[in-house]
Structure 1
């Protein structure tokens, strides 16, 4: 009996002390603090999303519009974020009211509704042109970018070599492939042939069965105004393509030009001048005839570009235009005319596709509209697509609606205008 009692005593004395639960009032205060913090975070996210969506809906508002059109390239993420914020804020609101929670829910709903409106506008353009948008691709943050299969120097400028890089066509055993030559943007003063977006496009074209070639050209600066040099050098690169494409699986009889921004300006000028017979390459033989050209937000009107109306980007536009031409449109009007694509349009100009952003704060889309009118008057096959709520470099989003629309329309354009083999 004593042993039993001793054992029980041991159990009592060695049992761990009980932890006292926090009083209900303390737990309630902690829960309120956590809920208030979560509501504050959601309100901050809702404010940011609402401002971005407001910029998408009112893209020409200074500063706000620029942020909005930049975000519109990744619209799917904005829509998803607005939906998540709205749902979480609504859950908190149902558990307990409060001004912060009501504001977060309301702003989240507004951002969600605005995102749907902008998405509907952009998808309407895709539907109008019968482009089936890959919904999963809309959420892509990085595109496919393969290293080039080869690189070479095609010429030189002031003793420095000018290079190009090649991505050979997938399935190249099926015969000679069409060739697409890509010209990067950068305001004629920056970037190079391996710029991220250009490389992604080149990789994609190679996956579609093209020999893709990205080309460097001489860049201007405050002391070197190369408006007379860049185009003959691009023509020199085309001459290299004509002489060497076959060695890399390409057909020199089917050459297409692609350019973005300042590269779009060069692509249009070179294609039109070569067709008119007034462009002598800086090296090699006469360049091949360009079958068709496709451009993204091209500087179709260098004078309007130099006007630089945007309060944030206008100064950069003026600086690059002056670096390229050596002056303002008022000071050297003949130079601006010389690099304006519409000035070189003839009825021999190649078929032209232009895709521009309606809310481009850097390159006014009005220049593309005027170019389309000039092409119409000349009887040149052309198509202009203006994407709503899209800004400059909308194709930086690898799977954005604008990127998908431009790529699909470019494939169709090239198929329609010369992609078919030149020989049976």
Structure 2
């Protein structure tokens, strides 16, 4: 019986270690696309926990090898695999800590072991627009009572422009509320085959800006300091809103023209859907063509003007609000190469764009806000707001 249990656990450990080590190697090599992508999501989100897991597995395999009498070759292989897995986690964690130093911010291994806070619940919900016979709502999160108007922050959710809702804002509502901002998390019309939303989505964001400005006294906010924040598709929309107000392709559905945003925070934004389509054809990004058809109506060859309008790299001629962009190095959902082009073009035009790139970062690398990557993101967001005098 003892022999059977020893062999059983040795085989089980081998399977577990193999399932852990192969993805780690794929992350390090940044290939193949899907394996390295999904593996990176866990590696970078939970690097502190993975170091602890690696150490535990290493200790277990060491004792199995030290005292085991059966299947010694397999026990030796398990020990080698456990060492590889542990060293890989130490390496990835060291890279994250080095990245924090590179961007002159803090990164804590111990904080990475903490669990996430529960999402805060909204204090109010308002309807700011009716379109397609659907009411578009915004949830409002108030900070602690303030005698003076606070800075308003609009959160715009992701979801490839075709799914998601205002409740999917993750840690963002917590962070801004805790730092004294009044937060507005909005819905916007989602794309369908028979109802593309390439205009209505960004126009809805602009309309929400006007709604907040119109009701600024009621909400006790300063409309001249409004900050737009979005992730993924939402990041594209907040950038479109800023650039579109300047270029004239984004307009509110009511008569109230909102002020330009005081700042924009874009978390892994798709800045060029034309280039993203090309990357999909090259098998370098996951296939989002179905989402693009619902959002824009078809391919770049079918609707070149629509894709050209939403190629934000070419929409910088009228300037830009102070913008902070953060992206993952191996993002297989959006095209990070296009993001780099956008940043380079902005730098050439001497526009106020700040950029942070997370090594080995996949899409939604920040889902765990306590991870070192998450810490880098929120520390840099706080620094960006401070540098632009947008602290409460």
With the length of structure 1 as denominator, give the TM-score of the two structures. 0.87
Distance in 2 (CA, whole Å) between partners of 1:414 and 1:56 is 32
Seen in structure 2, the aligned counterparts of structure 1 residues 379 and 62 have a Cα distance that, compared at 3 Å, is closer
1:255–1:290: 8 Å Cα contact kept in structure 2?
yes
Q: 2:178 aligns with which of 207, 222, 225?
A: 207
The 3 A distance-change label for structure 1 pair 420 and 65 is closer
2:122 is the alignment partner of 1:122: no
The match for 1:294 is 265
1:61 aligned partner:
32
Structure-2 change in CA distance of 1:80 and 1:420 (3 Å): closer
Structure whose alpha-carbon radius of gyration is higher = 1
Q: In structure 1, what is the equivalent of residue 141 of structure 2? A: 167
**Cα contact 1:49–1:108 (8 A) shared by 2:** no
Q: Is the 8 A contact 1:368 1:384 kept in 2?
A: no
CA deviations 1:215-261 (Å, max 9, x no partner) are 11111011111112111111000001112243233221211111111
CA-based RMSD: 1.9
- Say whether residues 1:247 and 2:218 are aligned partners: yes
1:158 aligns with 2:132: yes
| Among 261, 267, 279, the residue aligned to 2:238 | 267
Partner of residue 305, structure 1: 276
SS at the partner of 1:361?
A: coil
Say whether the 8 Å CA contact 1:62–1:310 is kept in structure 2.
Answer: no
Alignment gaps of 5+ in structure 2: none
Instruction: After superposition, give the CA deviation of every residue in 1:319-359 in whole Å (9 maximum; x if it has no partner).
Output: 11121111111221110111122232135311111100011
Establish whether residue 332 from structure 1 lines up as the match of residue 306 from structure 2.
no
Moved over 4 A (4+): 309-313
Instruction: Structure 1: give runs of 5+ residues left out of the alignment.
Output: 1-29
CA separation of 1:103 and 1:351: change in aligned 2, threshold 3 A: same
Aligned to 1:318: 289
Given that 1:141 and 1:398 are in contact with CA atoms closer than 8 Å, whether structure 2 keeps it comes out as no
Task: Tell whether the 8 Å contact from 2:109 to 2:372 is kept in structure 1 after alignment.
Answer: no
How many correspondences in the alignment?
388
1:192 lines up with 2:136 in the alignment: no
Q: Aligned-pair distance for 1:312?
A: 9.4
2:13 pairs with 1:77: no
2:113 matched to 1:139?
A: yes
Larger RCO: 1 or 2 (CA < 8 Å, sep 6+): 2
